[in-house]
Amino acid sequence: MYARKSPLQPAPTLTIDRDRCTGDGDCVMACPRNVLAIRTVLAVVGDDGVPRQRTQPFVVDYNACDGCQLCVTACPTAAIGVQSPEPPRPINIGRRRAGLERRPLRVAGGSAWI
């Protein structure tokens, strides 16, 4: 699990599969950061082509998401996905450029390695 510790870190990516979503709102209630909300839209549901009202979740604020994935756990139809960004990789600049290589040190009466 990924948890953002700083607003400078990239936010996780939330995806909602609207075909699988039933609009029951469990994901909205489970989110501690109020990232999701429910809205009512006119959608064509069924074979007759008649527009009907349908509830569906939508993302209010992508940047507020900390990647806790409680919405994913609460969704009974697995319609929500959270993809965490890759953590930043450490930069390898090498021992010589970092000043960490061992080199001889001249001292009176001999030499030593540091």
State residue 55's pLDDT score: 81
Q: Are the CB atoms for 66 and 4 separated by under 8 Å?
A: yes
State residue 4's pLDDT score: 53
Domain membership flag for residue 75: yes
State residue 70's pLDDT score: 92
Tell me the three state secondary structure of residue 102: coil
Domain membership flag for residue 97: no
Phi, psi of 42 (to 5 degrees): -85, 125
Per-residue tokens: 78:
């697995």
State residue 77's pLDDT score: 92
Domain membership flag for residue 109: no
State residue 95's pLDDT score: 55
Mean pLDDT by 10 residues, the chain (114 residues): 58 85 88 88 75 80 86 91 73 57 63 54
CATH number of domain containing 4: 3.30.70.20
Nearest to 55 by CA among 36, 35, 38, 80: 38
Q: Domain limits at 44? A: 1-87
Q: Give the whole-angstrom CA distance, residue 103 versus residue 99.
A: 10
